[in-house]
Amino acid sequence: EQCRGGALTVASDQYSLGVTLFNALTGRLPYEANKLTDLLDMHASAPIPQPSAFNEQLPRSVDRVLMRMMAKN
Distance CA 18, CA 8 (A): 16
Phi-psi region of 23 (alpha: psi -120 to 50; beta: other; left: phi over 0): alpha
pLDDT in tens, 39-71: 999 998 999 999 999 999 999 999 999 999 999
For the stretch 8-34, pLDDT in tens is 788 889 999 999 999 999 999 999 999
Q: Are 60 and 52 in contact (CB under 8 A)?
A: yes
66-69, long-range: CB within 8 Å, 24+ apart, which pairs? Answer: 66/18, 66/21, 66/22, 66/25, 69/14, 69/15, 69/17, 69/18, 69/21
Q: Rounded to an integer, what distance in angstroms lies between the CA atom of residue 19 and that of residue 46? A: 14
